[in-house]
Structure 1
Amino acid sequence: MGSFCFIDKVAEVKRDQSVTAFFELKGNEEFLKDHFSEFPVMPGVLLLEVLKQAACVLLGQGGGGNGHSLYRLSEAGAVKFGKFVRPGSTLKAFVRLVRKEKTSYCFEGRLDLERDGSPEGKALSAEFQLVPV
């Protein structure tokens, strides 16, 4: 996959319900050079992208995608940031399909931070909506 693939492993998909996936921030990602060179952290908008990509996995695995393969983020709300995501950290994404609407899919998602296999707390939680492209 390309440089903006933020899913390394899909741990579980519950059809039409939820997905759990993982992403490791290795430290060699291009965006870390500018964000920030002295204190590299994953940008918040990319944390939302992790949740969006996990939701797309769910839609592609029978989560009601209706044959579409591309989705875009149309809305995000109740976004709460937690811990900084630094190189060497692993994100555990949990995304739940809340409801299907006529032209969109509504989700709740959470990113939990792990380092060296130990939980470190929440990196992000949000409610968001995807629509087919």
Structure 2
Amino acid sequence: MMDIHQILKQLPHRFPFLLVDRVLEIEKGVRIKALKNVTINEPFFVGHFPHHPVMPGVLMLEAMAQAAALLAFDTLGSAPDDKTVYYFAGIDGARFKRPVEPGDQLIMDVTLDRMKSGVFKFTGKCSVDGALVCEAQLMCTMRSIA
């Protein structure tokens, strides 16, 4: 549905912080399904943890937020310009069910629950091989930086 080249046109994130490799499905104003290939080459594995590499939970939340941003931009009909930033406004009910390790393919499934006055509320779930690894309610907003 959206390859890395299209994602790079939408999201301002770059290595090492771009956490969406591909969009598998997108339903405008409803939901997005995206993936992140987790490899041993990720820079966070050097220190988290050298003896047992595990993807930090906060990065799973960030991956869901990046997928949510792609859904929000698709819903609005365009990505923000260089003078606008898409921020977290809140995270509720974050739960981590099992570690994500090198070699896993993280699937983010994010649903748009509400959009009002520039504030977006989402429900996000991450899975690996069909098993839930992380879930949370995300609130995001766009703000002008100029």
**TM above 0.5:** yes
Q: Please name the residue that 2:80 is paired with.
A: 68
Query: Aligned residue for 2:133?
Result: 123
Aligned-partner residue type, residue 108 of structure 1 = T
* Residue 9 to residue 96, structure 1, CA distance change in 2 (3 Å): same
Q: Report the Cα distance in structure 2 between the residues aligned to 1:132 and 1:29, rounded to whole angstroms.
A: 28
Task: Calculate the aligned-residue CA RMSD, in Å.
Answer: 1.5
Structure with the higher helix share, 1 or 2: 2
Q: List alignment gaps of at least 5 residues for structure 1.
A: none
Is the 1:83–1:113 contact (alpha carbons within 8 Å) kept by the matching residues of 2?
Answer: no
1:101 to 106, 116, 132: 116
Measure how far apart 1:66 and its partner are: 7.2
TM-score, length basis structure 2: 0.82
Report how many residues are paired. 127
Distance 2:25 2:89 in 1: 25
Per-residue CA distance 1:66-124 (angstroms, 9 max, x = gap): 7635311110001111110000000110000000121310000000012xxxx3x1110
CA distance in 2, matches of 1:67, 1:41: 32
Match 1:77 to one of 92, 95, 120: 92
Q: 2:10 is matched with which residue?
A: none
Name the structure where strand makes up a greater proportion of residues: 1
Identity of aligned residues (%): 28
- Of 33, 46, 49, the match for 1:36: 49
Deviations 1:7-51 (A, max 9, x none): 111001100111000111111111110100001000011010010
